[in-house]
Amino acid sequence: MTGGFVRPDPVCPSQGMAIRERTFKFEWKDGMKELIQGYLTNHTAASAPCEHIADKLTLDGRWSDLDCPSKTQVKNYVQSYFTRKKQDAEHALSREGKRTYKGFSLPWLKAEVVHRGLEVGRKKAAGCIKLLEQHDDENEGSLVKFHADPETESAAATSTNKLHLGVTAFRKSIESRTTSIPWLEWYRKECSYQNIPTGRRVREKGMVKLLHAHYLERDGDVKRHDGDHTVGGEPVHNVGDKVEVLWKGRWYHAKVIRCYPNHTWDVEYPPPSDQVFCKRIPSALIKVSDDIAH
């Protein structure tokens, strides 16, 4: 759902120029919808405090004021959220006792459609699910077997079934463990550790897709930057070394305070930095400092 808001251009009163209006397109940022959903517990579409939620988004600090949705945009999202919940509940009730395809990856769904001799075309997940459900209803009592065990789609990631995980299930398996840093930062480090060029994909969703493809290529056998595995050879940086760390396109002075056997490092930033330390920095995001004075 998108919307827009109007912001007048600055004018010079002495010149008596007419105010020109410029319309900006609003886009939902990563994390906004999840934050809104957290405030909808024990609420309905009618009772949801949309103005309060819009204020909370503004005060959260992750987004600028211009990036945050207005009360109307929050209200529109809340309405669509509860509409989808109602539709999902009605759909689940209508399919009670029948096979379900919710949560399966798009490649699995497309392969199943082809397996049944149906035309998949350019259908996305919702279209494939609808097609498969119609086929089930038409052939009730003589249903064909799945082309592949669907339980591997939602099972926890292991060395034997990680290959079958779709992007959503893969992300859930990654984020099932707790972490003390934002996931955007974790994914950025992981892409650097795996030597994956991210290009213009700077959001979590894009990085997840890159990592998912990387994991599939290696049949799930991938060493992560926050793991305890050992990398051969001498580490480039040692405890006490003065280094520079790449963060959002800029290099910042820091000092190594811990070295891990997989050649990642914890660093500490000099005062008056607000961020005291940063953990598990991979080699692509850290270099020897050119300035020995710091």
**pLDDT tens-place string over residues 273-293:** 666 668 889 998 999 987 655
* Contact predicate 219/157, CB 8 Å: no
Question: What whole-number distance in Å separates Cα of residue 216 and Cα of residue 222?
Answer: 9
| Topology annotation, domain 242-288 | SH3 type barrels. (2.30.30)
pLDDT along the chain (294 residues), means of 10: 48 46 72 89 91 90 86 94 89 81 83 90 88 90 79 44 63 72 85 86 83 81 86 89 87 90 90 72 89 58
Question: What whole-number distance in Å separates Cα of residue 55 and Cα of residue 89?
Answer: 30
Instruction: Quote the tokens at residue 48.
Output: 């949801």
pLDDT (0 to 100) of residue 11: 47
pTM equals: 0.47
Say if residue 122 is exposed, middle or buried (CB neighbours under 10 Å; 0-12, 13-18, 19+): exposed
| Domain assignments of the chain as residue spans, ordered by start | 21-92, 102-151, 158-217, 242-288
pLDDT (0 to 100) of residue 179: 67
pLDDT (0 to 100) of residue 293: 55
Which of these, 175, 154, 177, 174, lies nearest to 166 by C-alpha position? 154
- Tell me the per-residue pLDDT of 123-135, one tens digit each, with 9 for 90 and over: 888 899 999 999 9
Which of these, 117, 55, 199, lies nearest to 209 by C-alpha position? 199
CB within 8 A of 224, min separation 6: which ones?
Answer: 190, 193
Interstrand relation of 250-259 and 265-268 (parallel, antiparallel or unpaired): antiparallel
CB within 8 A of 130, min separation 6: which ones?
Answer: none
Residue owning tokens 């539709």: 87
pLDDT (0 to 100) of residue 150: 67
* Contact predicate 76/1, CB 8 Å: yes
Question: What whole-number distance in Å separates Cα of residue 125 and Cα of residue 107?
Answer: 9
